[in-house]
Amino acid sequence: MSKRTIYKLSVFVVIAAVVAAVLLVRYPKGKQTTAAASNGVCAENDDKAPIKIRALEGAAGDTVKQVAENGKFRLMYDGAKGLVHLEDKSSGYRWYNYPQNLAGISESQLALIQNPMVIRYTQGANPTLTNPLKEAGTAAPALIEGGVRVDYALTSIGLHFAMEYRLTADGMEVKVPFESIKEGAGCKLVSLEPLPYFDAANAKENGYLFIPDGSGAIVNFKEKHLEYFDRYYQNIYGGDPAFKTKTKETVLKNSKEDVFPAPQETIAMPVFGINRGKQGFAAIVTEGDFDAKIAAAPSGYQNIGLYRASVEFTYRNDDVIFIGDSGEVPMYQGGMIQGDRGVRYVPLQGEQSGYVGMANAYRSYLTNDRGVKPVPQDRPELQLQLVGGVVRDEILGSTYVKMTTFEQAKEIIDRFTEQGVDAMGVTLEGWSDGGVFGSQPLHFPVAGKLGGSSRLVDLANYAKSKGIRITLDANYVKPYADSGTFKESKDVIRGLNREPLVVRHANLATLQQQKGMKFLLLKPETAAGKMNKELAKYEKLGITGIRMDHVGKLLYSDQSPSSLFSRKQTAESWKEVLESVKNRIGGAAVNYGNAYTFGHVNRIDNAPMDSSHFIFEDRTVPFYQIVLRGLIPYYGEPGNMREDGPKSFLRMIEYGAMPLYRLSYANSSNLQRTPLNDLISSDYRDWLEPAAEEYRKAAKALKPVTNQPIVGHEQLEPDVYRTTFANGVAIYVNYGESAKLADNVRIEAGSYAVVEGGSAK
């Protein structure tokens, strides 16, 4: 190695050390902490012995003792292993921390799966994986109200934390109190994964994993399958854009060459589960869901012959920081993300042990614990999204492109009414002066070229006279960087490198960033403030709702040293924004619909209607829809933007959703060289009859189940599915190329059949 090379390496090491010392993250109460770095010392003493599990007071150290009981369950504590299990008092079914069928499990694997927790910690670089049974220290159990608490003192890595197990009316809740976590000087906690093998299944069993991928997916248990080199491991509510590595596959020094992941669905509901024949469970993340991942591994992953699912709670995120021309430095958040973490396990039995029972369990949690109340509908509606205006940049200056004026919107409403569409809602995009992107986050004045405020008021009144609700689309979250309506220096979020975070869209062909427009993410308090200042102006328009763009799907933190904001705080801001809109305007809508919006919205557009189809997923299921049917009206992707129109329409009927279309008065050819050039077919004349026909068919099929929950869903044959609603109505869907007979009901090829009167199974 040359002296020049040695010198360069030395400079890089010095720079990396300086960055680790200088990059500070401010935390509550003025506390500052350097980015996690190692001082080489983790252990609190020289003890090298395995962990000592102390005896529970009043019990022998190696006995199983009941620690709680209610009318339905017993909670048992195993003193030998420091683990618990649930027992149903009437059926005798049991749910263990680790599988009881250990066929094919080696001795070394046994020591791994009989652990209550997987721990990830860092000494400044890549995280180290461990568990309590691998470390020296103590596990001290103690009775608490409704259960037992185990305090872990892992002296070999300087980590202390507690796990609390409590009985609930419907199962067991596991909690990691934040106040119980203590770190040593050298090792910094990255994540905790409680009960990683809870009720895990052997590959020979009959059942499946449920994962909340998009609308939902199941992974069937199979003895023989492809060799899987990865597992399902996704962030609840998607990755945090404040950290580049959480939303990109590859982060490079030149951000133009960053690689985005292939398009995929995200997790909208913090719930997972396992079905083992007549026994199963739903696991609901009740605390800490904003910084957590769902992990689900098929048999054979990491050479362990078990199907398993769990939640991993993040306490520190990491990212890559680039230092001049010297290279990259991995950095962790200096302080932990605060807050308790909790997951509730709801045991399921018999016919309710499958994904429908899991959805019912989560629905009950939403209504009973979260207070989500149903949003009733009078009748099934067609949703129309009408594009108003958009600005096209030219070589010199720009051109405002009118796609739908407010008078033309009236004409579109009339034309659809003439086609027999007697119930619809209309959402206007690009209605403000700057068009679809324009001057956001400011939305006023109303675009004069579309008719101005007076014409918009006329449209709202005209629609109201026909029983049609007018909703305005608004974006206070992700504005165009060059809009000039906010200050980048103080209004946008920053990453660990303290730089304003720039967001670009991915090119679907190259998976690298698109050229042209770039966006920034507003601080949640800034977004809320700008919206609140405009609410009075919305009220004067006579509209009935606002659809808040990005609020239902995009969740981020702010790593600005002077104003650190967590994802949980952002979600709380979004909920307050939605409540303000509901209270003052009358209705709030969102796209996609993450769970934190439930109870705060009247409608969800572009709800997840599919899964990501990862290689280990066997089937997409309507878990999302089973949870929400009869609670919140939802719609799928626009009908004029579907990849496979006929099959997507059938899935919409199967999932109990009405059609949505994104249209315009002017032809979509006018959108060339605009940011909306992906809307390739929007002329309402082209879609008037197809959309109206879809509405008539869907309304006829779904009118009998208006406001009715889904209580059953089954795959009867490879191409035939049955959805059963609470009032006994069943809808059969046949995706095949030939007619099928199911339950003595004939379903034509590529069609569906509705059976009323409770005669369906």
Residue 270 burial (C-beta neighbours within 10 Å; 0-12, 13-18, 19+): buried
- Displacement of CA 76 from its chain's centroid (Å): 33
Q: Are 432 and 443 in contact (CB under 8 A)?
A: yes
Look at residue 284 and tell me if it is in a domain: yes
Nearest to 591 by CA among 580, 578, 573, 582: 578
Instruction: Name residues whose C-beta falls within 8 Å of residue 28's C-beta, 6 or more positions apart in sequence.
Output: 338, 564
Give the torsion through C-alpha atoms of 683, 687, 689, 695, to 10 deg. -130
What region does 740 belong to: left with phi over 0, alpha with psi -120 to 50, or beta? beta
Nearest to 315 by CA among 32, 26, 20, 36: 36
User: At residue 474, what are phi and psi to the nearest 5 degrees?
Assistant: -140, 145
Between the CA of residue 330 and those of 27, 127, 254, 327, 720, what are the distances in Å?
20, 11, 16, 10, 50
Q: Identify the three-state secondary structure at position 323.
A: strand
**Does position 758 have pLDDT exceeding 80, yes or no?**
no
What per-residue confidence (pLDDT) applies to 15? 41
Which pLDDT band holds residue 673 (cuts at 50, 70, 90)?
confident
Packing angle of the helix pair 406-418, 684-702 (nearest 10 deg)? 50
**Does position 5 have pLDDT exceeding 50, yes or no?**
no
Q: Are 476 and 546 in contact (CB under 8 A)?
A: no
**Does position 738 have pLDDT exceeding 70, yes or no?**
yes
Task: Say if strands 588-591 and 545-548 run parallel, antiparallel, or are unpaired.
Answer: parallel
Q: How large is the average pLDDT for residues 20-40?
A: 38
Which pLDDT band holds residue 201 (cuts at 50, 70, 90)?
very high
Spatial separation of the C-alpha atoms in residues 331 and 125, rounded to whole Å:
8
Spatial separation of the C-alpha atoms in residues 656 and 486, rounded to whole Å:
41
Q: Are 354 and 281 in contact (CB under 8 A)?
A: no
Residue 217 burial (C-beta neighbours within 10 Å; 0-12, 13-18, 19+): buried
Half-sphere exposure of 148 toward its Cβ, with a 13 Å CA cutoff? 25
**Does position 20 have pLDDT exceeding 80, yes or no?**
no
Q: Are 171 and 357 in contact (CB under 8 A)?
A: no
- b/e sequence 381-395, b meaning 16+ C-beta within 10 Å: bbbbbbbbbbbbeee
Half-sphere exposure of 686 toward its Cβ, with a 13 Å CA cutoff? 16
Tens of pLDDT along 708-735?
999 999 999 999 999 999 999 999 999 9
**Does position 761 have pLDDT exceeding 90, yes or no?**
no
Look at residue 106 and tell me if it is in a domain: yes
Q: How large is the average pLDDT for residues 247-267?
A: 84
Spatial separation of the C-alpha atoms in residues 160 and 151, rounded to whole Å:
7
Nearest to 428 by CA among 326, 541, 339: 541
What per-residue confidence (pLDDT) applies to 268? 98
Q: Which residue has the tokens 């398009």?
A: 263
Spatial separation of the C-alpha atoms in residues 398 and 449, rounded to whole Å:
15
Look at residue 290 and tell me if it is in a domain: yes
Look at residue 301 and tell me if it is in a domain: yes
**Does position 3 have pLDDT exceeding 50, yes or no?**
no
Q: Identify the three-state secondary structure at position 241.
A: coil
What per-residue confidence (pLDDT) applies to 465? 96
Packing angle of the helix pair 406-418, 452-465 (nearest 10 deg)? 20
Look at residue 57 and tell me if it is in a domain: no
- Six token digits for residue 359: 């959805």
- Please tell me the least confidently modeled range out of 517-521, 524-528, 625-629: 517-521
Q: How large is the average pLDDT for residues 87-97?
A: 95
Residue 241 domain boundaries = 67-369
- Six token digits for residue 391: 């600005």
Which pLDDT band holds residue 185 (cuts at 50, 70, 90)?
confident
Spatial separation of the C-alpha atoms in residues 619 and 617, rounded to whole Å:
6
- Displacement of CA 244 from its chain's centroid (Å): 18
User: At residue 373, what are phi and psi to the nearest 5 degrees?
Assistant: -110, 145
Q: Are 705 and 656 in contact (CB under 8 A)?
A: yes
Q: Which residue has the higher pLDDT, 482 or 631?
A: 631
**Does position 618 have pLDDT exceeding 70, yes or no?**
yes
What per-residue confidence (pLDDT) applies to 570? 97
Nearest to 303 by CA among 223, 228, 241, 353: 228
Number of other residues whose CB lies within 10 A of the CB of residue 451 = 21
**Does position 10 have pLDDT exceeding 50, yes or no?**
no
User: At residue 668, what are phi and psi to the nearest 5 degrees?
Assistant: -65, -15
What per-residue confidence (pLDDT) applies to 325? 65
Q: How large is the average pLDDT for residues 38-48?
A: 75
Residue ranges of the alpha helices (H) in 622-664?
623-628, 645-654
Q: How large is the average pLDDT for residues 199-228?
A: 94
Tens of pLDDT along 363-391?
999 999 999 999 999 999 999 999 999 98
How far the first Cα of the chain sits from its last, in Å, is 77
Spatial separation of the C-alpha atoms in residues 634 and 657, rounded to whole Å:
6
Look at residue 319 and tell me if it is in a domain: yes
DSSP string, 471-485: EEEE-SSS-BTTS-S
Q: How many domains does the chain have?
A: 1
**Does position 559 have pLDDT exceeding 60, yes or no?**
yes
DSSP string, 31-92: -EEEPP---S---SSS--SPPEEPPPTTS-TT-EEEEEE-SSEEEEEETTTTEEEEEETTT-
Task: Say if strands 271-276 and 279-287 run parallel, antiparallel, or are unpaired.
Answer: antiparallel
Q: Are 418 and 412 in contact (CB under 8 A)?
A: no
Identity at 219, one-letter amino acid code: V
Identity at 172, one-letter amino acid code: M
Identity at 543, one-letter amino acid code: I
Spatial separation of the C-alpha atoms in residues 645 and 319, rounded to whole Å:
40
Which pLDDT band holds residue 40 (cuts at 50, 70, 90)?
low
Look at residue 213 and tell me if it is in a domain: yes
User: At residue 119, what are phi and psi to the nearest 5 degrees?
Assistant: -115, 135
Tens of pLDDT along 125-184?
789 999 999 999 999 999 999 999 999 999 999 999 999 999 999 999 999 999 999 998
Q: Identify the three-state secondary structure at position 245.
A: helix
What per-residue confidence (pLDDT) applies to 543? 97
Length of the chain in residues, anyone? 761
Report the CATH number that the domain containing residue 231 is assigned in CATH.
Answer: 2.70.98
Nearest to 596 by CA among 544, 548, 640, 641: 548
Percent of the residues in the chain that have a pLDDT greater than 90, as a whole number = 73
Percent of the residues in the chain that have a pLDDT greater than 70, as a whole number = 94
Report the run of H or E that residue 698 belongs to, with start and end: helix 684-702
Q: How large is the average pLDDT for residues 660-679?
A: 93
Which pLDDT band holds residue 518 (cuts at 50, 70, 90)?
confident
Instruction: Name residues whose C-beta falls within 8 Å of residue 526's C-beta, 6 or more positions apart in sequence.
Output: 441, 486, 491, 492
> Using omega within 30 degrees of 0 as the cis cutoff, is the peptide bond preceding 127 cis?
no
User: At residue 306, what are phi and psi to the nearest 5 degrees?
Assistant: -135, 145
Nearest to 495 by CA among 191, 193, 248: 248
Spatial separation of the C-alpha atoms in residues 664 and 403, rounded to whole Å:
6
Tens of pLDDT along 581-590?
999 999 999 9
**Does position 13 have pLDDT exceeding 50, yes or no?**
no
Q: Which residue has the higher pLDDT, 34 or 223?
A: 223
| Mean confidence (pLDDT) of the chain | 90
Task: Say if strands 201-202 and 188-194 run parallel, antiparallel, or are unpaired.
Answer: unpaired
